[in-house]
Structure 1
Amino acid sequence: MVVLTGADAEGILSRLDGLANVRAAAVKDGDAARELVAQSHGAYVVHDADPLADVADAWTGFFDRQDTPGTLEVAVESALAGLRRGLVQLPDYYVVLEPESLPETRKHWWLGVLAGVSPSRVIPAKASAGAVAEVLSRLPSGRWWPDPPDEWLRGLGRAVPDRVGVPGSV
């Protein structure tokens, strides 16, 4: 399962669905994502329902000082509850479209925090169906997300932008 996120993800998903071994659709929530995966027989199921979207929003809000205290912790606990109950699942890969165009803190979420947790699971790509198809044809292998995810998700408040991945940082 691949989550496609970023500039024009929905438009690109509609163009990917016709590719061999690819089932792609804009779904937006965990229920629809589970249904898409269950009904697919393709090698790749690609959608835009990010199970960590609320955590990403809360993390960027926390470090951009836009959220109230506790928002990040609530988002993390909600995500953990969804993962435990099987309501959502972490994707095999995140394909992030045009990450260089993202606001700085959001860029650090994708290319710092998540890539730091599992480097081969976050792949930047140009915002085109052809570029994403190329990425799908050469997805790297590598370690899975740490399981259980409790420790790294609960440690996000210490994963400071510009410091993520720097030796000696949390």
Structure 2
Amino acid sequence: MRRLSSTVVVVAGERAAEVISGLVGLHNVRAITRGERTPAEMTDVVTRASATYVLHDADPLAEVGEAWTGFFDGTTPVGGLEVAVEAAVGALRAERLVLPDYYIVLDPDGLTPTRRHWWLGVLAGAAPTRVVPSPASAGAVKETLRGLSAGRWWPADVEGWLRGLPRQVPDRVGLPGATA
């Protein structure tokens, strides 16, 4: 799986595009909003960007997160999570998607419980220092960038981790014996 020379940060949340727009012009930061670009087009833009930090709002695991949330909330059709996982695995393998170094999750307290567990349970459980909550403002995200700490990256076996997501149960993620 490809890693870039810039530190890539996905800003996630309802106000992500607005917050990222407020960060344009910061020294050593390239702030990019997805707009109408496809995920593959965004990957191309992000991989060509050169700055210490590249911030964007195109979560490469967005469909997986939606499907995981729907799987446990009972709103995704049977097999929907598995389809989303296999699509992500294929796109990551083909380098049409690139995992970010960090996720900054805007206002996680305002999310539904299952969605909050996706961000702060499943993703944070896979890479604890790589998922950071923040208030939804450009100033708060700027401060969050200053405080990002190093830690393990995503699991070495990303494909196996993704395929194991149906066993990552909300309210139990990260606990011993917490698989379904």
User: Normalising to structure 1: TM-score of the pair?
Assistant: 0.96
Q: Are residues 1:15 and 2:4 paired?
A: no
| Alpha-carbon distance in 1 for matches of 2:99, 2:81 | 18
Cα distance in 2, alignment partners of residues 129 and 10 from structure 1:
10
Q: CA deviation at 1:42?
A: 1.3
Aligned equivalents of 1:38, 1:156: Cα separation in 2: 27
Could you say which residue in structure 2 is the equivalent of 1:135?
144
Question: What is the match of residue 173 of structure 2?
Answer: 164
SS in 2 for 1:16: coil
> Percent identity among equivalent residues?
54
1:80-101 deviations in Å (ceiling 9; x for gaps): 0000000001000000000010
Report the number of matched residues: 170
Q: Give the match for residue 63 of structure 2.
A: 54
Cα distance change, pair 62–116 in 1 and its aligned pair in 2 (3 A): same
How far apart, in 2, do the equivalents of 1:29 and 1:5 lie? 17
Could you report, residue by residue, the CA deviation over 1:5-31 in whole angstroms, capped at 9, with x for unpaired residues?
013111111111111110112115323
- Once residues 31 and 59 of structure 2 are traced to their aligned partners in structure 1, the CA distance between those partners, rounded to angstroms, is 14
Q: Which runs of 4+ in 1 moved over 6 A?
A: none
Distance 2:101 2:67 in 1: 22
Match of 1:103 in 2: 112
Instruction: Give the superposed CA RMSD.
Output: 1.2
1:30 & 1:52 partners in 2: Cα distance? 10
Matched, 1:5 2:8: no
Normalising by structure 2, we get a TM-score of 0.90
* Partner Cα distance (2:47, 2:123) in 1: 26
**Matched residue, 2:132:** 123
